[in-house]
Copies of this chain bind each other. A is one copy, B any other.
Amino acid sequence: MRTINIGLFGLGVVGTGLLTILQNNRDLIRARLGAEVRVKRIVTAHPEKPRSVNLAGIPLGTEPAAILADPEIPIVVELIGGTGAAREIVLGALEAGKHVVTANKALLAEHAQEIFGKVYEKGASLGMEAAVAGGIPVLRSLKEGLAADNILEVAGIVNGTCNYILTKMAQEGAQFADVLAEAQQLGYAEADPTFDVEGHDAAHKLAVLVNLAYGTTVPFGAIYREGISGITPMDIEFARLLGYNIKHLAIGKLEDGRVEARVHPTLVPRDHLLASVNGVFNAVFLTGDNVDATMSYGRGAGGLPTGSAVASDVIDIARNVLSGIRGRVPALTVVAEALRDLPVMPIEDISSEYYLRFQVRDRAGVLARITTVMGSHGISIQSMIQPSQADHPDDPVQVILITHRARERDIRRSLSEIGPMDFILGPTQVIRIERVGT
């Protein structure tokens, strides 16, 4: 039986998960691949650290060259993360004619042109299933399952930390900060949670999704991004009264040659499948012009689920190596000649329905003044609630409007006119509403 050697960079949660899978499911992988997958060498910054996984005699070292210069290793697995050493390793491996498997969404998103440029130049394979939605094979569905479809939309819940926090806030009526502290204790949120809760991680994943969906490499900085730290239990409750749950979504579309790519809290109709995706789970809708709406659901993180996605990419590329072929499926879904430079649509140009929560003085005529301004910008209202009256005339009352579909630019103009008015007692909450897949 033939052996496919891999070189592994990184022995963190995912690296350990991968080793566990390759050991536990060795017979299974052999039966499916018809060959042995062998980790020939591991490079880690801390080879001396005790590990929870049996290394079974695999040599450990700190020198990348031990893998990158080894002609017997056709596949390099990069599980270090970040855009420093990882970038060097991935580029070095590609330059050396190797294929790469990575879970590194930051690298793929922030250095898309450089990384994919090198992949295309070398005709290499780049496995990145683990970079988006952990163990869920959503990139494979996008690249191969929907190969005959124009992708109308990619949208979903891609950050488990945000989804856990929003789920708990909704179930318990709790404040963001309290649930975050609890999530940190449970290991569902990092000590520095900014990266997750402010939407950076989701934006990285969205960049990968839209780049694959549209055969492009969007500038990462142009992706619009809002986190969940500004969501209050009050918003969750009012959304519920109106028939919605609040979810943190990543949304990508192609409109008139511009990529719409945005990450933000979103009202989702309560009977929509995404509204039922709770806790740390992820779910991604892919909508194609023929297949219509599809959704993939599962665990978005964790050593074994993510390691499973890494292993599936290794097996996929190993099949090519065994057959003696390279770059069977183009890394960005299209052949080099068909790659496009597509701009990202500024957030002001998108259109959406909106949840607007105004904090106003409780007096007559307020609603008329708000809706007059909005009407002057062509925005029409589909519903309004004012859940309670003020106990004291100086206390704010909350007025919630749900708009029909409107341009973000017009919403912003309206709010900049309404903001300074004398009855406004605080900042207005703005949350977009999406009906994904319809």
Contacts and interface: CB of A to CB of B under 8 A. Distances in A.
Interface of A: 17, 21-22, 24-25, 28-34, 129, 135-137, 140-141, 144-150, 215, 271, 273, 276-277, 288-299, 302, 304-305, 307-309, 311-312, 314-316, 319-320, 323-325, 328-330, 333-335, 337-338
B335 A34 contact: yes
A297 B298 CA distance: 12
Given A135-B292, A294-B298, A32 B147 contact: yes
- Number of copies of chain A assembled together: 2
24 contacts: A21-B290, A22-B148, A24-B289, A29-B147, A29-B148, A31-B334, A32-B330, A32-B338, A136-B145, A137-B145, A141-B141, A144-B312, A147-B312, A147-B315, A148-B312, A271-B276, A273-B273, A288-B308, A290-B305, A291-B298, A291-B308, A294-B296, A324-B325, A325-B325
A361 to B, nearest CB: 41
A271 B245 CA distance: 14
A326 B273 CA distance: 39
The listed residue with most B CB atoms (<10 A of its CB), out of A290, A320, A324, is: A290
A140 B145 contact: yes
A144 B316 contact: yes
A135 B289 contact: no
A197 B305 CA distance: 36
A323 B288 CA distance: 27
Contacts of A333: 32
Contacts of A31: 215, 334-335, 337-338
Q: Which of A298, A302, A315 has the most CB of B within 10 A?
A: A298
Given A147-B315, A271-B276, A319-B329, A298 B293 contact: yes
Contacts of A292: 135, 298-299, 302, 304-305
A347 to B, nearest CB: 28
Closest CB pairs A-B (n = 10): A137-B145, A148-B311, A31-B338, A294-B298, A135-B291, A290-B308, A295-B297, A34-B335, A290-B304, A291-B308
Contacts of A338: 30-32
Of A288, A291, A324, A333, the most chain B CB neighbours within 10 A belong to: A291
A33 B304 CA distance: 33
Contact of A148 (B289, B315, B328): B315
Nearest to A141: B137
Contacts of A148: 21-22, 25, 28-29, 308, 311-312, 314-315
Contacts of A25: 148-150, 289-290
Contacts of A273: 273, 276-277, 297
A296 B299 contact: no
Contacts of A149: 21, 25, 28, 308
B299 A297 contact: no
Contacts of A304: 290-292
A17 B288 CA distance: 14
Nearest to A297: B295
Given A28-B149, A146-B312, A273-B276, 10 more contacts: A24-B289, A140-B145, A148-B311, A148-B312, A149-B308, A273-B297, A276-B276, A290-B311, A292-B305, A295-B298
Contacts of A33: 147, 335
B271 A290 contact: no
Contacts of A305: 290-292
